[in-house]
């Protein structure tokens, strides 16, 4: 069974929700965050990326950044205003991006279940990113980043969620990227809580660092003599697996090592890959599109031995058969010669990066399936870094969990 609990959300007054709602803190750089929040004092980026209100060049991990986050949250609570619900509730969060719609349940989930592996992971986390969000949570007394969960859908939970959205939404806003965000507050939540009891497991789709930081913040608060029941829970929205939309996470490499475009093409052929001119997006798994020297090509990836599902993912095969042996790319988590481009940016961004000489070659991949993610997590495996790009994304600032 999976535990979900109602909570008293801190949230913007409906009239200002569109102004407060911001992109997740970890999908933009400091410069991008500063541009997005320019001229909008109510943007939640002033809380999640508070370095934008300090002099350029300020380290995002400096003491001043966390102090400013605390001050900015207090200011936003007064000026927006942000209000805390008087009763613990669940919330239904619906996202619509073009023809795609997905509806999930927002609540708080158990840190203990996360630590016990009942809320399953598929990625490693970086200590520096954990340190940052852990300190942000402890100092602001709030979980400001929402974890994105998924689960194998059940008819019973589907039915309860559909019944819960029969009335008008609390929020109905369209973000700058055209994604529609709707939110319903559910006071009578017992039926949904009970239906979650029939869900055998939850899976982190996006937000591994947020979940890990919530668990560490719980430990830190206990060690500081400030334990609370709310610190033992973390805020998340859970969506059924059938509603999830995964885009590819593409790769660019900054140079060809010691090769020319022609010799790199020959090296691919020598290693069993038949390279031909092709489309910018592969039509199926096992095929990779490559942008090199102003042209798109395609080649099939050779099969690999091994039974682990993670070893057979295109991102892993590309790393083992091409990026490492032919281009000298080491650990993709740390190698500075490789960079990653989320599928939402399109293949035009890959062309731009290569044409501008920011990179020498780009690889466009077929998207990983949600079943791959869940099976790998069930096996206790770890997916390669930057394997999945979930879209559409939740907005920060619409629901905050005070601890």
Angle between helices 63-79 and 127-140 (to 10 degrees): 40
Instruction: Name the pTM for this structure.
Output: 0.92
Instruction: Please check whether residues 234 and 272 belong to one and the same domain.
Output: no
Predicted confidence (pLDDT) at residue 170 exceeds the cutoff of 80: yes
The answer to whether residue 319 scores a pLDDT higher than 80 is: yes
User: Residue 202: inside a domain, yes or no?
Assistant: yes
Strand-pair partners of 338: 253
Is 146:236 a contact under the CB 8 Å cutoff?
yes
140 and 12 inside one domain: yes
Q: Is residue 271 part of a domain?
A: yes
pLDDT of 259 > 80? The answer is: yes
Q: Is 230 a domain residue?
A: yes
Same domain, 73 and 216: yes
For residue 126, tell me if it sits in a domain. Answer: yes
Average pLDDT, the chain: 96
Do 48 and 191 reside in the same domain of the chain? yes
d(CA 172, CA 270): 55
pLDDT(303) > 90: no
Q: Structural domain tally of the chain? A: 2
Please report, for the domain that includes residue 265, its CATH number: 3.30.1760
Domain that holds residue 314: 249-366
What's 319's DSSP letter?
I
| 323 and 339 together in one domain | yes
Q: Based on the fold, state whether residues 90 and 53 are members of the same structural domain.
A: yes
C-beta separation of 367 from 306 below 8 A: no
Asked if 237 and 221 sit in the same domain, the reply is yes
For residues 237-256, average pLDDT: 97
Structural domain contains residue 86: yes
Range 291-309 average pLDDT: 90
Give the model's confidence band at 84: pLDDT under 50 very low, under 70 low, under 90 confident, else very high: very high
List, for residues 5-25, the tens digit of each pLDDT value.
Answer: 999 999 999 999 999 999 999
Q: Quick: pLDDT tens for 90-119.
A: 999 999 999 999 999 999 999 999 999 999
Residue 16 lies in a domain: yes
Please tell me whether residues 294 and 185 are part of one structural domain. no
Contact 201, 100 (CB under 8 A): no
How many residues can be counted in the chain?
403
pLDDT at 2: 86
Pairing of strands 119-120, 389-390: unpaired
Where do we find the tokens 């010691």? 258
Same domain, 92 and 36: yes
382 within a domain of the structure (yes/no): no
Does residue 276 belong to any structural domain of this protein? yes
Element (H, E) at 324: helix 324-327
Task: Give the position of tokens 């042996």.
Answer: 325
User: Do 40 and 171 fall into the same domain?
Assistant: yes
Residue 304 pLDDT class (50, 70, 90 cuts): confident
- Of 95, 104, 86, 111, the closest CA to residue 196 belongs to 104
- The answer to whether residue 166 scores a pLDDT higher than 90 is no
Q: In terms of domains, do 278 and 238 share one?
A: no
Is the same domain home to 276 and 201? no
Q: Which residues of 94-106 are buried (b: 16+ CB within 10 A; e: fewer)?
A: bbbbeeeebbbbb
Whether pLDDT at 306 is above 90: no
């Amino acid at each position: 069974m999976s535990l979900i609990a109602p909570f008293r959300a801190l949230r913007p007054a409906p009239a200002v929700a569109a102004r407060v709602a911001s992109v997740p803190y970890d999908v933009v750089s400091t410069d991008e965050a500063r541009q997005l929040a320019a001229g909008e004092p109510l943007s939640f980026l002033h809380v999640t990326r508070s370095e934008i209100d300090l002099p350029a060049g300020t380290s995002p991990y400096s003491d001043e950044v966390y102090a400013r986050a605390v001050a900015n949250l207090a200011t936003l609570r007064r000026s927006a205003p942000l209000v805390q619900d008087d009763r613990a509730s669940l919330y239904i969060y619906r996202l619509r991006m073009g023809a795609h719609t997905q509806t999930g349940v927002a609540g708080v989930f158990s840190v203990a279940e996360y630590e016990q592996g009942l809320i399953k992971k598929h990625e490693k986390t970086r200590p520096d990113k954990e340190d940052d969000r852990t300190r942000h949570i402890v100092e602001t007394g709030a979980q400001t980043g929402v974890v994105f969960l998924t689960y194998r859908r059940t008819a019973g939970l589907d039915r309860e969620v559909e019944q819960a959205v029969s009335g008008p939404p609390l929020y109905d806003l369209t973000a700058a990227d055209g994604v529609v965000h709707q939110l319903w507050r559910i006071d009578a939540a017992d039926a949904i809580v009970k239906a979650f009891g029939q869900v055998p497991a939850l899976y982190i789709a996006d937000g591994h660092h947020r979940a890990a930081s919530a668990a560490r913040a719980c430990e830190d608060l206990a060690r500081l003599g400030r334990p609370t029941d709310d610190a033992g829970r973390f805020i998340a929205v859970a969506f059924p697996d059938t509603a999830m939309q995964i885009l590819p996470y593409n790769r660019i490499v900054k140079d060809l090592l010691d090769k020319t475009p022609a010799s790199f093409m020959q090296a691919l052929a020598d290693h069993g890959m038949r390279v031909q001119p092709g489309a910018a997006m592969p039509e199926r798994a096992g095929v990779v599109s490559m942008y090199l020297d102003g042209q798109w090509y395609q080649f099939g990836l050779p099969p690999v031995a091994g039974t682990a599902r993670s070893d057979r993912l295109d991102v892993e095969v590309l790393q083992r058969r091409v990026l490492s042996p032919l281009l000298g790319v080491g650990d993709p988590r740390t190698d500075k010669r490789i960079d990653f481009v989320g599928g939402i940016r399109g293949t035009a961004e890959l062309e731009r990066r290569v044409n501008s000489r920011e990179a020498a070659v780009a690889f466009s991949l077929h998207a990983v399936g949600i079943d791959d993610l869940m099976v790998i997590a069930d096996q206790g495996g770890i997916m390669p870094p930057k394997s999945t790009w979930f879209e559409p994304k939740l907005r920060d600032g619409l629901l905050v969990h005070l601890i």
